[in-house]
């Protein structure tokens, strides 16, 4: 969705009743962390992001609500090709700046800064802030995820996989464990490392077996591995959960492949 989604979200923010409290409260922090998990579960449905924004607001703390808005805008800014709409990152920066003005020392808020740096190509700045935050909090799930994003941007596969492992180990909630495994699976998928992607998607499905996108991607992986029967099983499960064009297209490919096999069997059986 990228810039189109950003263009839809920004006018909505002008209509929000923001919290009156300017302090970074513990309640605000707890709601902020729950909201982050909702943003991380985003799979293309804008309603997921609006639900996350509502969660950030329930904390009743301006800095955490503003920071959550920044995090949401970063997620919304991602285009279909994996790039990030500059307008979305700029808007995210503006909201983050407001949060930091009110609360300059919260690690949870400041971690969004290197995230924006990574996605707009300012990798040296991202590295500086990451190192600073690691000194403040040596072991942190979200900082480890930022390391994944940083090393992906650097093109270092070995470091990327290593930080994926650290992220999974640091995950303390089911949504965090799911996010860590789903992102690792997507990474292997993008790299066309099909065997590794299969294992990672199967682990992700263990935590979220009603997610049609996970089943669809696992079906594609089986297809790439030329395991047509497993691809068909996963495709059928995908369509049971949600009927969408990409899954139907794969269904047709599977049917064609199986009919070819049946024809060869009749000819040479």
Closest CA to 175 of 78, 70, 48: 48
The model's pLDDT over 167-192, given as tens digits with 9 standing for 90+, comes to 999 999 988 988 899 999 999 999 99
Angle, in degrees to the nearest 10, between helices 123-136 and 141-154: 160
Residue 84 has φ and ψ, to the nearest 5°, of -125, 130
pLDDT value of residue 266: 43
Sign of CA dihedral 87, 101, 143, 134: positive
Residue 43 has a pLDDT of: 82
- Supply angle C-alpha 164, 250, 39, rounded to 5: 40
- Give pLDDT tens digits for 89-123: 999 999 999 999 999 999 999 999 999 999 999 99
Residue with tokens 């609006």: 50
Instruction: Out of 18-27, 133-142, 237-246, 251-260, pick the least confident.
Output: 251-260
Q: What is the pLDDT of residues 137-166, one digit of tens each?
A: 999 999 999 999 999 999 999 999 999 999
């Amino acid at each position: 969705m990228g810039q189109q989604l950003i263009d839809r979200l920004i006018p909505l923010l002008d209509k929000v009743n923001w919290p009156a409290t300017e302090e970074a409260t513990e309640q605000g922090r707890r709601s902020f962390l729950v909201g982050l998990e909702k943003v991380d579960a985003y799979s293309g449905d804008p309603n997921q992001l609006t639900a996350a924004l509502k969660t950030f607001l329930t904390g009743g703390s301006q800095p955490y609500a503003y920071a959550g808005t920044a995090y949401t805008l970063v997620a919304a800014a991602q285009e279909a090709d994996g790039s990030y709409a500059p307008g979305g990152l700029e808007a995210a920066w503006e909201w983050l700046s407001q949060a930091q003005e009110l609360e300059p020392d919260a690690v949870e808020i400041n971690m969004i800064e290197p995230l924006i740096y990574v996605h707009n190509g300012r990798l040296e700045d991202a590295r500086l802030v990451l190192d600073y935050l690691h000194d403040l909090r040596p072991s942190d799930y979200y900082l480890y995820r930022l390391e994944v994003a940083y090393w992906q941007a650097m093109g270092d596969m070995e470091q990327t996989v290593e930080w994926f492992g650290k992220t999974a180990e640091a995950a303390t909630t089911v949504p965090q464990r799911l996010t860590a495994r789903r992102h690792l699976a997507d990474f292997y998928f993008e790299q066309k490392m099909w065997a590794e992607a299969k294992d990672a998607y199967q682990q992700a499905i263990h935590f979220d077996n009603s997610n049609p996108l996970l089943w669809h991607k696992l079906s594609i992986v089986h297809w790439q591995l030329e395991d047509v029967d497993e691809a068909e099983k996963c495709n059928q499960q995908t369509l049971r959960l949600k009927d969408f064009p990409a899954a139907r297209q794969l269904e047709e490919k599977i049917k064609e492949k199986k009919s070819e096999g049946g024809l060869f069997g009749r000819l040479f059986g």
